[in-house]
């Protein structure tokens, strides 16, 4: 849990990593509507350049153009061993075999509804209301 979650007025900060512009746009709008601050990147390089100390949850597309999402997750875990950061894989095929691999905590299949996002936020961010 990010220490910031204990402060009044806390809003979760979500890193959204995806390479499909339409899906990114819809997820970004839905996450904003659900009360999240969103950092949006479209490549593995972009994701790995983010300062993770301010991130509460990651939605990570598995099919990135420059590096597989599983490798991005692996690198994030190695860099941030002391931080328990939920990483949710975004996939088109529902590859549930990704769970636990490379530090992936959950899998969500495209297309993704606002209801599904709200449910994931409630599960992975206990202070989210």
Token pair belonging to 75: 């690198």
pLDDT above 90 coverage of the chain, percent = 60
pLDDT grade for 16, boundaries at 50, 70 and 90: very high
Determine, yes or no, domain membership for 129.
no
Position 45 pLDDT exceeds 70: yes
Domain count, the chain: 1
Residue 42: CATH number of its domain: 3.40.50.2300
Residue 113 lies in a domain: yes
13 by Cβ neighbours in 10 Å (0-12 / 13-18 / 19+) ranks as: middle
**pLDDT value, residue 30:** 97
Is residue 104 in some structural domain? yes
Residue 1's pLDDT band, with cuts at 50, 70 and 90, is very low
DSSP code, position 117? H
- Whether the predicted pLDDT of 55 surpasses 80: yes
Query: 49 lies in which domain range?
Result: 3-123
Per the domain annotation, does 111 fall within a domain? Answer: yes
Q: How far apart are CA 56 and CA 123, in angstroms?
A: 12
**38 part of a folded domain:** yes
The CA distance from 95 to 79, in Å, is: 25
128 within a domain of the structure (yes/no):
no
């Amino acid at each position: 849990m990010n220490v910031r979650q204990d402060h009044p007025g806390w809003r979760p900060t979500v890193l959204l990593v995806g390479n499909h512009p339409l899906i990114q746009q819809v997820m970004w709008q839905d996450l904003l509507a659900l009360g999240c601050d969103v950092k949006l990147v479209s490549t593995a390089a972009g994701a790995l350049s983010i300062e993770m100390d301010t991130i509460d949850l990651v939605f990570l597309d598995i099919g990135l153009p420059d590096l597989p999402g599983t490798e991005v997750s692996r690198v994030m875990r190695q860099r941030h061993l002391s931080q328990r950061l939920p990483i949710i894989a975004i996939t088109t095929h529902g590859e549930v075999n990704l769970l636990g691999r490379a530090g992936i905590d959950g899998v969500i299949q495209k297309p993704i509804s606002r209801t599904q996002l709200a449910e994931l936020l409630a599960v992975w961010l206990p202070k989210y209301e």
